[in-house]
Structure 1
Amino acid sequence: FTSDLRWSNTPPITDKQTLSKLCHKKAAPVICASDHTNKDKEKRQATSQTKRTKMSSSAGNQVRASHILIKHQGSRRKASWKDPEGQIIRNTTQDSAVSQLKVLRDEILSGKAKFDDLASRYSDCSSAKRGGDLGPFGRNQMQKPFEEATFALKVGEMSDIVDTDSGVHIIMRTG
């Protein structure tokens, strides 16, 4: 065959052995081209699906973090594990919560205290029982400001004050 010669209706070849023999001969580029095109298309689709699966899988797109949460009167839930009635939280302004977190953050940065110790003592989140550890999580599992701050941090870095509907936080990315 030359590139000028083409069958107008390619005869159907259903026998895989015959097709394989034809594809290995140089005299049959037209027949083989469609076979390889389909294989290439299938391979591209499989590769694309694998990439989508990896991107959406939690393993490839997860972080791990610890945090200290201070709730205040503007928080969506006014109770915590250490203040079940929410009396302290109802009397805490956002400004005082931010001030408290700044003091805690400075203690951590200066080396006077460890993050997990302060989280255990001061955080209004039940994760305080684990030193503030939230475990691994992926995108769209936390409130947007919290997620964005955490994913922007490098492992071992601590955030500035992060404000969410739950209260104000400092976040330490741990993984």
Structure 2
Amino acid sequence: MEFRASHILVKDKALAERLLKQIKGGARLEELAKDFSTCPSKSKGGDLGWFGPGKMVKEFEAACAKLSPGRISPVVRTQFGYHIIKLTGRR
């Protein structure tokens, strides 16, 4: 199974929680990613494209597996920092 996802990556958990609250309040993850994410994907609104098993760290992949397309994850901690993930596709 492959996933397509967009995300925001930040170093600070409190900032991640604030951004997630803004998204739940109607802000677009893609716009917040451009302003706040530390990942190079920020220039594409956080879009990571399609990826298969083993391409992302296990915590990130596990979060994607639990989401249905269009849904937003809770804050996910990995070795890179704190992610907010939006699953945009599954095939």
Looking at structure 2, the residues matched to 67 and 123 of structure 1 have their Cα atoms a distance apart, in angstroms, of 8
Q: Percent identity, aligned pairs only?
A: 44
Aligned counterpart, 2:23? 108
Looking at structure 2, the residues matched to 168 and 104 of structure 1 have their Cα atoms a distance apart, in angstroms, of 11
Looking at structure 1, the residues matched to 24 and 34 of structure 2 have their Cα atoms a distance apart, in angstroms, of 17
Aligned counterpart, 1:170? 84
Equivalent residue pairs, number = 89
Counterpart among 20, 40, 60 of residue 146 in structure 1:
60
Report the AA paired with residue 109 of structure 1: K
- Give 1:120 deviation, angstroms: 0.5
Report the AA paired with residue 22 of structure 2: E
1 or 2 for the larger relative contact order (CA 8 Å, sep ≥6)? 2
Report the AA paired with residue 158 of structure 1: I
Q: Does 1:64 align with 2:4?
A: yes
Looking at structure 2, the residues matched to 62 and 131 of structure 1 have their Cα atoms a distance apart, in angstroms, of 20
Looking at structure 1, the residues matched to 14 and 46 of structure 2 have their Cα atoms a distance apart, in angstroms, of 19
Higher helix share: 1
Higher strand share: 2
Q: 1:123-142, aligned counterparts within 5 Å?
A: 123-142=37-56
> Whose radius of gyration is greater, 1 or 2?
1
- Give 1:172 deviation, angstroms: 0.4
CA RMSD in angstroms comes to: 0.7
Q: Deviations over 1:37-71 (max 9, x none)?
A: xxxxxxxxxxxxxxxxxxxxxxxx11100000013
List structure 1 segments (4+ residues) > 4 angstroms apart after TM superposition: none
TM-score (structure 1 length as normaliser)? 0.50
Provide structure 2 residue ranges, at least 5 long, that are not aligned to the other structure: none
